[in-house]
Amino acid sequence: MAKNTRPSSGKPVTIHDQKLMRGKGGELHQIADGDTDVLTTAQGGPVADDQNTLKIGERGPALIEDFHFREKIFHFDHERIPERVVHARGYGAHGFFETYKSLAAYTRADIFQRAGERTPVFVRFSTVAGSKGSFDLARDVRGFAVKFYTQEGNWDLVGNNIPVFFIQDAIKFPDIIHAVKPEPDRAFPQAQSAHDNFWDFISLTPESMHMIMWVMSDRAIPRSFRFMQGFGVHTFRLVNAKDESTFVKFIWKPKLGMQSVVWNEAVKINGADPDFHRRDLWNAIQAGDFPEWELNLQLFDQEFADSFDFDVLDPTKIIPEEVLPPVPVGRLVLDRMPDNFFAETEQVAFMTQNVPPGIDFSNDPLLQGRNFSYLDTQLKRLGSPNFTHIPINAPKCPFHHFQQDGHMAMRNPVGRVNYQPNSFGEGPRESPERGFRSFADAEEGQKVRLRAESFADHYSQARQFFNSQTAPEQRHIAAALTFELSKVETVAIRERMVAHLLNIDEGLAETVADKLGMKELPRRADAAVPPRDDLEPSPALSIIENGPDSFVGRKMGVLVSPGADAVLLKKLQAAIEKEGAVMEIVAPKVGGVEAADGSWIEAKHMIDGGPSVLFDAVALILSEEGAERLAGEAAARDFVADAFAHCKFIAFTSGSIPLLQKAGVDPEADEGLIELDDPKAVAKFIASCRKLRLWSREMAVKL
């Protein structure tokens, strides 16, 4: 009888004692003993049979002496480590950071001393609320954590794609996370904030209102990691060789521009491809389209901090770019995926406390708490104080210390001395000149538990953010609030939230209240500080206002049918590739179709598995007969109807009109529908796609 005749491609298999290898086409061929590495136990012992446990007779009981089986199962039983409490679902990549110019005037951090120097990095993107198995397009904050392997130790810039946070003091962090996680009595909803506990906490926490505007905006459903910003969130300090301090805020800006999806699209993407963001990053790097961001710094002194309208130590506030323009100081490029997801992405340990000499902390109370919490959590997740021995966490510069022993110690001090000071002249010593020195800021005051009055304005910047959005983005915020609050069963919580919204924008509050069926508006929430209405809108806060002017890095989905025009398809593909975008073919069957000229068109997706939500724009290259057949398929009609409803640009051949009409789309509805029969139409279509969306269509669709 054959043994294990269904191995994965490229793996040895034993059939009737013959050693075989399955080739790329699935065929089996015999291999010699020396052609592959010999399988061993973890102790290095060669393994004779990895297919069967040791038994007494063919059908007898298994023997406990089978050490290979016991080792293999022992390791398998312990392969899982506790997932992160927050940011559990993450994806990472390796790359480098290149410094543009010396910043020695501001900091003695080695990474910023020499123009053109490249520093290795590892970056992990994540969602906050969901578990490891949740979907990518949850409405959520995205983690944007960067580990710089500098020549003076690791620097972890642990940030998010949103520059503010829900709370002002770290003592409230367990509460906000408990509230947003699945409710403990029922263990749902997963990766969602649309439930009573979250909105109960938020409605009782006015300091969260600015963050809520961001999370209900399109920033919380980015199209890709590659198209989102990152922020250090807190105010840090740069300290130069003269021990002079400059305050700094860190901002990452994507070279490909910002882009998000709409909520209806996000819901459908999660069904079609719950790994959408992971796949996007993987495919881009494997194709050599390396994602890139620019690091920008907002630099300011104590005088500016004292004159600014809000407290720079308040993590629920920003400094608008129009008030303090960011300065680009370097670029981040991701060019290599991990060799093993668990070893690197899952085991990487980020900590805000990891800063090199020349970068220091401010008294932001949320940052102060994070500096304690991040170190504390590594022991639980990674099982040992020696988590820095794991390669992804180890510095790439020389390091010397007397720490020893402990679970899973891979390195211990060499020699008789494991302490200092010692009189043997052995081991490393501290260096007042080279070592980390905290900025010597003068502090005084009583021990108190209170919130600074300068932290008390909870609505003004929330109002500024809302006023800075374009009309479509404001509609999306209103729709997001309506959806989330519609899932809240407790009426009093909904009313409290609308009462807060009245302090941000009355029109927004009225829209949400109306959609929730409230017969009358609640009383405006009390404000510790009256909201200001004199803050100028900040165009930098709008995604649409800061979108790209090209289709570079985007993806085009082309639906084809038997009899499609192969010449036109090749012309379209050439134009897309010239633009720096990717084209993927969708067909009735995944194998592809025969074109009008008899050539074969290979497909990437079948229509049921390649919905238009996976693409930034679509084209229909169909024969009339093919369009009529597809018009009878729900998946094909949805492909067109969704692309139209999501305000995407659509190109089509005249033969495609039966499918358009059956999907309820008028071929002449607006300028976002472009017929490809004109010789100049392909260029026109690509130029139109650079806008990414035709937002003027949104009001007509009323999605």
In this structure, what CATH number is given to the domain that contains residue 607? Answer: 3.40.50.880
pLDDT of residue 35 exceeding 90, the answer is no
For residue 420, the SS3 value is coil
The pLDDT assigned to 212 comes to 98
Q: What is the pTM of this model?
A: 0.92
Conformational region of residue 435, where left means phi above 0, alpha means psi within -120 to 50, and beta covers everything else: beta
DSSP state of 54: -
Cβ-contact 274, 136 below 8 angstroms: yes
Pairing relation of β-strands 605-606 and 12-15? Answer: unpaired
At 582-604, the pLDDT tens digits run: 999 999 999 999 999 999 999 99
DSSP state of 625: H
CA distance 165 to 156: 18
For residue 121, the SS3 value is strand
At 532-552, the pLDDT tens digits run: 999 999 999 999 999 899 999
The pLDDT assigned to 678 comes to 85
DSSP state of 34: G
Q: Of 173, 177, 87, which Cα lies nearest the Cα of 138?
A: 87
In terms of domains, do 174 and 34 share one? Answer: no
Neighbours of 372 (CB within 10 A): 13
CA distance 82 to 487: 30
Neighbours of 44 (CB within 10 A): 6
Q: What is the mean pLDDT of residues 350-368?
A: 95
CA distance 292 to 412: 39
Cβ-contact 627, 652 below 8 angstroms: no
CA distance 241 to 535: 38
DSSP state of 210: H
- Phi first, then psi: what are they for 242, rounded to 5°? -90, 10
The pLDDT assigned to 66 comes to 92
Q: DSSP letters of 242-258?
A: T--EEEEEEEEEETT--
In terms of domains, do 152 and 276 share one? Answer: yes
Q: Can you name the residues that pair with 412 across neighbouring β-strands?
A: none
Confidence band of 447 (pLDDT split at 50, 70, 90): confident
In terms of domains, do 218 and 248 share one? Answer: yes
In-domain check, residue 127: yes
At 66-103, the pLDDT tens digits run: 999 989 888 888 888 999 999 999 999 999 999 999 99
Confidence band of 33 (pLDDT split at 50, 70, 90): low
CATH number, position 482: 1.20.1370.20
In terms of domains, do 256 and 147 share one? Answer: yes
pLDDT of residue 685 exceeding 90, the answer is yes
Domain boundary among 344, 366, 393: 393
Mean predicted lDDT score pLDDT of the chain: 93
Confidence band of 425 (pLDDT split at 50, 70, 90): confident
* Percent of residues, the chain, with pLDDT higher than 70: 95
* C-alpha radius of gyration, the chain, whole number: 29
Active site residues: 87, 160
The pLDDT assigned to 10 comes to 43
Cβ-contact 86, 178 below 8 angstroms: no
The pLDDT assigned to 75 comes to 85
The pLDDT assigned to 703 comes to 65
CA 275 vs CA 191, 266, 279, 614: distances in Å: 14, 12, 6, 11
Q: Of 470, 491, 479, which Cα lies nearest the Cα of 546?
A: 470
CA triple 477-479-483, angle to 5 deg: 120
At 102-139, the pLDDT tens digits run: 999 999 999 999 999 999 999 999 999 999 999 999 99
Conformational region of residue 412, where left means phi above 0, alpha means psi within -120 to 50, and beta covers everything else: beta
Specify the number of domains making up the chain.
4
Q: Of 526, 487, 494, which Cα lies nearest the Cα of 513?
A: 494
Q: Token pair for residue 170?
A: 């770290």
Q: Of 417, 502, 432, 424, which Cα lies nearest the Cα of 462?
A: 502
pLDDT of residue 453 exceeding 80, the answer is yes
The pLDDT assigned to 16 comes to 38
Q: What is the mean pLDDT of residues 335-348?
A: 97
pLDDT of residue 375 exceeding 90, the answer is no
Domain boundary among 514, 544, 574: 544
pLDDT of residue 29 exceeding 80, the answer is no
pLDDT of residue 354 exceeding 70, the answer is yes
In-domain check, residue 102: yes
Domain boundary among 393, 412, 433: 393
The pLDDT assigned to 571 comes to 97
Q: Which amino acid is residue 614, in one-letter code?
A: L
For 595, residues 6+ apart whose C-beta sits below 8 A from its C-beta are 560, 563, 564, 565, 566, 569, 601
In terms of domains, do 307 and 375 share one? Answer: yes
Determine the straight-line distance between the first and last CA of the chain, rounded to whole angstroms.
59
CATH number, position 118: 2.40.180.10
Pairing relation of β-strands 617-621 and 555-560? Answer: parallel
pLDDT of residue 8 exceeding 60, the answer is no
Burial annotation 197-211 (CB, 10 A radius, 16+ → b, else e): bbbbbbbebbbbbbb
The pLDDT assigned to 34 comes to 57
Confidence band of 648 (pLDDT split at 50, 70, 90): very high
Q: Which amino acid is residue 93, in one-letter code?
A: A
The pLDDT assigned to 30 comes to 53
pLDDT of residue 27 exceeding 70, the answer is no
In terms of domains, do 224 and 356 share one? Answer: yes
In terms of domains, do 516 and 554 share one? Answer: no
In-domain check, residue 234: yes
In terms of domains, do 172 and 148 share one? Answer: yes
pLDDT of residue 44 exceeding 50, the answer is yes
In terms of domains, do 496 and 557 share one? Answer: no
The pLDDT assigned to 640 comes to 98
In terms of domains, do 553 and 540 share one? Answer: no
In-domain check, residue 130: yes
Q: Which domain holds residue 686?
A: 549-701
For residue 58, the SS3 value is coil
In terms of domains, do 477 and 565 share one? Answer: no
What angle do helix axes 506-515 and 471-486 make, rounded to 10 degrees?
A: 40
CA distance 648 to 558: 13
Cβ-contact 582, 563 below 8 angstroms: no
CA 622 vs CA 553, 585, 676: distances in Å: 26, 12, 11
In terms of domains, do 179 and 327 share one? Answer: yes
pLDDT of residue 573 exceeding 70, the answer is yes
In-domain check, residue 443: no
Three-state SS letters, 425-493: CCCCCCCCCCCCCCCCCCCCCCCCCCCCHHHCCCCHHHHHHHHCCCHHHHHHHHHHHHHHHHCCCCHHH
In which element (H, E) is residue 497 found? helix 491-501
Burial annotation 317-338 (CB, 10 A radius, 16+ → b, else e): bbbbeeebebbebbbbbbeebb
In-domain check, residue 134: yes
Cβ-contact 509, 501 below 8 angstroms: yes
Q: Report the C-alpha dihedral over residues 413, 415, 416, 421, rounded to 10 degrees.
A: -60
At 286-327, the pLDDT tens digits run: 999 999 999 999 999 999 999 999 999 999 999 999 999 999
CA 17 vs CA 11, 21, 38, 534: distances in Å: 15, 13, 16, 82
pLDDT of residue 411 exceeding 90, the answer is no
In-domain check, residue 439: no
pLDDT of residue 5 exceeding 80, the answer is no
CA 359 vs CA 155, 370, 453, 463, 479: distances in Å: 9, 16, 28, 33, 41
pLDDT of residue 166 exceeding 70, the answer is yes
Q: Of 629, 633, 622, 620, which Cα lies nearest the Cα of 655?
A: 622
For residue 197, the SS3 value is helix
Q: What is the mean pLDDT of residues 382-397?
A: 93
In-domain check, residue 428: no
